[in-house]
Structure formats: structure tokens, C-alpha cells
Amino acid sequence: MPKNILVVDDEEDILELVRYNLTKEGYSVAVCASGEEAIAAAKSNLPDLIVLDLMLPGVDGFEVCKQLRAYPKTAHLPIVMLTAKGEDADIVLGLELGADDYITKPFSPRVLVARIRSILRRNERRQTADTNVIKHNNLVINPARFEVLVENVQVELTATEFAILQFLAGHPGWVFTRNQIIGAVKGKDYPVTDRSVDVQVAGLRKKLGEAGDYIETVRGVGYRFKE
């Protein structure tokens, strides 16, 4: 069955360009032009991935991403932000909210298709990967249920935060650079700054509370999970 992709943009020419190129690659494509429509469409007809513009009428793309990440059925849905907003602050915010990729306009349709293909492949690998529960003192990570517990209380994480925690906790004592971390959870050559990785880790530590201390900063190198 072809993968279903929802494309959200209020510019008709962009919608048609993206739909044409994705359809040509064998994907099934649905489109909508507002944030409200995007939320409703994603919840009622769960797509395999969303291509999301940020500057939308009414509810903007950031809020769409935030609401979808807060809804259990769509919390793990891959989201690619495709936007003219290219400032570092916008990129960091998009990644903080849980976007899987961030592409600025003007864009290459071939690059967009390649990024989407890579994300979908990575998502499939995650779904079929080892789902052993990771336990570390009062911290429990259950990949199969996308669940993190601290002192038996569930902690709500974004998809990126969960992937970083699972990766580090799965290799206790190992030191990883920021590039190695983002390469493991997003794929090689993913365009992200060191600052973005630090923001993700800071947010993760805050949500974990005292268990956040398990993630140690190795000055001048990166991060590791305490043995």
C-alpha cells in the first residue's frame, strides 16, 4: 500500500508542486490549506507523514505541530516543516515542538522527496527495531508503548526527546557528540546546529526532573547516560 502524506499549505502553487512530485514517487497525497483543516484531517485520517507550512491562516503551523504532538493518536506522526521562516529561532522552535525535519523555501522538490523517503524508512526501522524495555533505577523507557515513567509517573516527551533518551540510555557510559546523537535519531547529514541539540537535551532533563541527572554533559564533547 502506498504511504499516505498530508500536505498543508495556503499557497495553491506550492500544494500542487508538492502533490505532483510526491504522487510521481508513488505516494498517496491529501492536501489542505489551513491549520484547522490539518488538525482535523490528521486526527480523522491518520497519515504516514505531514508536510506542514508554518504561516497558515488561523492556527499556524507551530500550533498545529503542538496540538498533534499532544494528541495520543498523532503524537508519533512524522512532521516535516516546509516554510519561508528560516531564522535559527524558528528552526529551534520547530524542532523543540517535535518536527522531524525543517526545510526552508525556496526548496528543491527532489530534496524534499529524499528527506521524506528517509524519514519514512527510519520510522519503519524504529517500528520493527528491538523493543526491549530499558530500566535504570526509577526510570523506565518502553519503546513499544512510546512511554517513559519516572517513579511510576508517565512523562510526556516529544518524538525527538524520546529518541534521544532511548539512544543514550541504550548505551550507558558511552560518550556521544552532538552530531552522533542527531545522526542516530534523525539520520546523517540532518541540518541542525549544536544549539538545537542542547535545547532538546535541556528540555528532556527538565521533563525528567531528578532523573534528568542521568544525562551528563561531557564538556567539549557531548553527552552520556550514567552507568
Tell me the domain boundaries of the chain: 4-127, 131-225
Reply yes or no on domain 131-225 having CATH 1.10.10.10: yes
Mean pLDDT check: name the lowest of 35-39, 119-123, 126-130, 192-196. Answer: 126-130
CA distance 40 to 59: 12
CATH number for the region 4-127 comes to: 3.40.50.2300
CA distance 177 to 162: 18
State mean pLDDT over 207-226.
Answer: 93
| Structure-block grid coordinates of residue 53 | 507550512
Three-state DSSP state, 141: strand
pTM for the full model? Answer: 0.61
pLDDT single digits (tens) 98-134? 888 889 899 999 999 999 999 898 877 666 555 578 9
